[in-house]
């Protein structure tokens, strides 16, 4: 039993190490867009392989724990939540790579007004990521619920930014490629927010033992 | 033990029922874009809740099976693969909803040459989806590997279609919104292909017990 507890602790530690790498990748990819920083964008591309490898290791660890013994209700929920959060983190890492690629494509484009929105949206998204992971660490259902509440705000910001970028492109057809890149950056941020929401839902399942996915009315409980 | 086998069979049956709904949603969303069919697009939006509910039921069934007894190596791999495939299917359903929303936005737009590519890309993507699910049903590693091989072709088609749509928008700034919608349709198709790739990788893990994710060299084995 001692061994099982230690392995469970190792699973959590590894998941948090992966989360730290993914958070850093998101931060650097957005900074690369806003500051037109090629080196930073390339560092995100370089770290992708390491994040992918961590995903495989964490999955192996979790499946090994399921095989080792029949875990009790709470431990079983922790392990299945870890499997799901692991998948979400890896996808968030992929999205940071997408953003970094757009940053490289945008290096030579002039700064435009619509870019002012990006630090704003990304600030909100990064705080959702942080809160969903803190909620996991501290098994904090209230914090997890606050992440779900932010999701609509991100959708609204994305939609406003899309309209602004489309009218910018209509007025400046020579900058259409830049506009398409920026729409993609914002969409990738929105998808990162969606994965934070998934993590927050997994935390609620972990803490409460109830499944809140697709049940908006239960989220406000 | 008999009970366990029956429940395992039920898990597979439910997963395939969900897969059938998701495949139908993808097919209808693309047909709605190409044929400008509002009723079809709305039917995809209507089915979303049912697909979401199936995801929750399948997860419950799989986690229940893990709790019921310590499954043996092969059964454990089947159950964890089912959990992952379930997540992928639900996301594919979300992507079909995204495409259906673009179909509604495109209802009044004139047909343009770039739309000819969409049935082509979607034919390839739908065949990847079908093959990845057939590979799961028949535990067919060769079929799963053929899905991984198609992924690059989809990326190439998407990239060509993007270039074409961007020059279309540059020449027709009054159609930028339509171009942005069509870029989004193609990108959603590409993401559906990515999820098929995930499923194929899970099938290889299930059949071979090796993890091929992020190991391109092993995929060609």
Q: Do B76 and A63 touch (CB under 8 A)?
A: yes
Q: Do A84 and B87 touch (CB under 8 A)?
A: yes
Q: Which of residues 16-55 of A touch B (CB under 8 A)?
A: 49, 52-53, 55
Q: Is the pLDDT of residue A132 over 60?
A: yes
Q: Is the pLDDT of residue A140 over 70?
A: yes
Q: Which of A72-81, A130-139, A152-161, B116-125 has the lowest mean pLDDT?
A: A72-81
Segment B59-64 mean pLDDT: 90
Closest residue of B to A209, CA-based?
A: B60
Q: Which of B66, B80, B213 sits opposite A56 (nearest CB)?
A: B213
Alpha-carbon distance of A202 to A213, in angstroms, equals 9
Give per-residue pLDDT as tens, B135-177: 999 999 999 999 999 999 999 999 999 999 999 999 999 999 9
Q: Which two tokens stand for residue B13?
A: 């049956």
CA atoms within 13 A on the CB side of A162: 17
Alpha-carbon distance of B136 to B174, in angstroms, equals 46
Closest residue of B to A182, CA-based?
A: B180
Segment B10-32 mean pLDDT: 96
Q: Which pLDDT belongs to residue A14?
A: 96
- CA-nearest of B26, B47, B42, B46 to B188 is B26
Segment B71-78 mean pLDDT: 82
Query: What ipTM does this complex have?
Result: 0.79
Q: What is the CATH number of domain A2-219?
A: 1.20.58.220
Q: Is the pLDDT of residue A10 over 90?
A: yes
Chain A touched by B216 (CB under 8 Å): no
Give per-residue pLDDT as tens, A175-202: 999 999 999 999 999 999 999 999 999 9
- CA-nearest of A44, A21, A23 to A32 is A44
Q: Do B177 and A183 touch (CB under 8 A)?
A: no
Per the model's pLDDT, the better-predicted residue between B33 and B113 turns out to be B33
Q: Which pLDDT belongs to residue A5?
A: 86
Give per-residue pLDDT as tens, B192-218: 999 999 999 999 988 877 666 665 544
Segment B166-191 mean pLDDT: 93
Alpha-carbon distance of A197 to A147, in angstroms, equals 6
- Top residue of A213, A215, A217 to mutate, by most chain B CBs within 10 Å, is A213
Per the model's pLDDT, the better-predicted residue between B146 and A63 turns out to be B146
Q: Which two tokens stand for residue B205?
A: 């893990």
Closest residue of B to A86, CA-based?
A: B84
Angle, helix B117-138 to helix B2-35, in steps of 10 degrees? 170
Q: Which of residues 168-207 of A touch B (CB under 8 A)?
A: 169-170, 173-174, 176-177, 180, 183
- CA-nearest of A66, A176, A94, A217 to B166 is A176
Closest residue of B to A195, CA-based?
A: B91
Chain B touched by A1 (CB under 8 Å): no
- CA-nearest of A137, A72, A82, A196 to B80 is A82
Split at pLDDT 50, 70, 90, the class of A210 is low
Average pLDDT taken over every residue of chain A: 90
Alpha-carbon distance of A150 to A130, in angstroms, equals 13
Segment A112-124 mean pLDDT: 84
Q: Are B72 and A70 in contact (CB under 8 A)?
A: no
Q: Is the pLDDT of residue B131 over 70?
A: yes
Say which residues have a Cβ less than 8 Å from residue A195's Cβ, sequence separation at least 6. A88, A89, A91, A92, A95
Q: Is the pLDDT of residue B19 over 70?
A: yes
**A190 φ/ψ angles, rounded to the nearest 5 degrees:** -60, -40
Alpha-carbon distance of B33 to B12, in angstroms, equals 32
Q: What is the pTM of this model?
A: 0.86
Task: Chain B: give the shortest CA distance to residue A216, in Å.
Answer: 12
Split at pLDDT 50, 70, 90, the class of B221 is very low
Query: Which percentage of chain B shows pLDDT scores above 70?
Result: 91
Per the model's pLDDT, the better-predicted residue between A200 and B112 turns out to be A200
Per the model's pLDDT, the better-predicted residue between A218 and A153 turns out to be A153
Q: Is the pLDDT of residue B116 over 90?
A: no
Chain A touched by B69 (CB under 8 Å): yes
Q: Where are the alpha helices (DSSP H) in A38-116?
A: 38-68, 73-105
Which residues in chain B are closer than 8 Å to A173, comparing Cβ atoms? 169-170, 173, 176
Q: Which pLDDT belongs to residue A217?
A: 46
Query: Which percentage of chain B shows pLDDT scores above 90?
Result: 75
Chain B touched by A109 (CB under 8 Å): no
- Top residue of A53, A162, A173 to mutate, by most chain B CBs within 10 Å, is A173
Our CA dihedral for B47, B51, B52, B58, rounded to 10 degrees, sits at 160
């Amino acid at each position: 039993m001692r061994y099982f507890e230690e392995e469970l602790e190792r699973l959590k530690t590894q998941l948090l190490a992966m989360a730290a790498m993914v958070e850093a990748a998101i931060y650097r990819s957005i900074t690369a867009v806003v500051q037109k920083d090629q080196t930073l964008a390339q560092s995100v591309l370089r770290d992708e392989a390491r994040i992918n490898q961590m995903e495989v290791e964490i999955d192996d660890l979790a499946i090994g724990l399921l095989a080792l013994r029949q875990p009790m209700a709470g431990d079983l929920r922790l392990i299945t939540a870890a499997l799901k959060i692991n998948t979400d983190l890896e996808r968030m890492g992929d999205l940071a790579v997408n953003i970094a690629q757009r940053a490289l494509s945008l290096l030579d484009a002039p700064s435009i007004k619509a870019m002012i929105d990006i630090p704003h949206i990304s600030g909100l998204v990064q705080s959702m990521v942080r809160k969903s992971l803190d909620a996991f660490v501290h098994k904090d259902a209230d914090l997890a619920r606050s992440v779900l509440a932010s999701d609509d705000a991100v959708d609204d910001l994305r939609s406003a930014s899309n309209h602004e970028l489309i009218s910018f492109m209509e007025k400046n057809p020579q900058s259409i490629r830049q506009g398409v890149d920026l729409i993609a950056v914002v969409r990738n941020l929105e998808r990162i927010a969606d994965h934070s929401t998934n993590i927050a839902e997994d935390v609620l399942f972990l803490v409460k033992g109830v499944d809140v996915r697709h049940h908006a009315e239960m989220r406000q409980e």
